[in-house]
Amino acid sequence: MSFALKYAPKTLDDVVIGSQTLKNRLSDYINDRDLKPLILHGGVGTGKTTIANLLPDAIEGKKAEVTRLKAVEFNSINDVMQAFGDQTMFYQVFTINDQKRNYIISNEINFTPKAAIAFRDVIDDMIGHTQFIFTTNYIDQVDIALRDRSNCLAVPPVTAKDWLFRAQWILQQEGIALPDDQLLKVLTTQLQVSSSNRKLLERLEDFVRSVRNPPSNPGGIIEVAPTPEPINPLMAA
């Protein structure tokens, strides 16, 4: 199993977040101090989708039921109304399974202009009981009125120091010990190439593989050089 799957965060506390501002704002949602729609934006692989998927569980204190949207499928007002027309009243009054809130998550919310107008009305009708969580790599392309209704939180790339504790834990699970300064070099080198958390996990996986199967021993088998037989002095004439 790849490290990206094996060590994928199970809870929001497992996610490597370097920004204290982002941590504080997420805490506001978890502690019911903020109910506005949330737009998480930033570069590829910084953890936006992971945070979006795990935030409802953190708010509920248990596994939450969520509805997932694909904004690319909403091209017109009719598309939006077909998706929400029968549910808006329910979401105004009830929550699923006695949850604190209902949850709707959507990645890359690049609605067409007409669909965006209809979706604004949906949000206004459902915001009392429904937590909307959106993610995007391109915040400037998101409908300006939707941005105005939402908290737009940047998810910046993390640093090697941010990753150190989690990376050491992963290596410990793999039975490998490495001093912090050496591991920081591995993490720093990778983050200079790509800020993606996925790529960093791939680098850790490659590192573990190289430790277990060094180039001089590609098969991972410990080879013992044969011991020469002792020379019998009586036979050495």
pLDDT, position 222:
33
Nearest to 208 by CA among 156, 172, 154: 172
Average confidence (pLDDT) over 168-175: 96
**φ/ψ (deg, to 5) at 153:** -110, 125
Question: When comparing pLDDT for 90 and 6, which is higher?
Answer: 6
pLDDT, position 126:
86
Domain boundaries, the chain: 17-154, 160-212
3-state secondary structure at position 127: coil
pLDDT, position 216:
64
Average confidence (pLDDT) over 103-124: 84
139 DSSP assignment: G
CATH classification code of 17-154: 3.40.50.300
Take residue 43 and report the two structure tokens written for it: 């570069």
pLDDT, position 73:
64
Q: What is the pLDDT of residues 56-69, one digit of tens each?
A: 999 999 999 998 88
Question: When comparing pLDDT for 169 and 220, which is higher?
Answer: 169
pLDDT, position 220:
41
pLDDT, position 160:
97
Contacts of 226-235 with C-beta under 8 Å, sequence gap 24+, read none
List of residues 6+ apart from 220 with CB closer than 8 A:
212, 213
Q: What is the pLDDT of residues 118-138, one digit of tens each?
A: 888 888 888 888 999 999 999
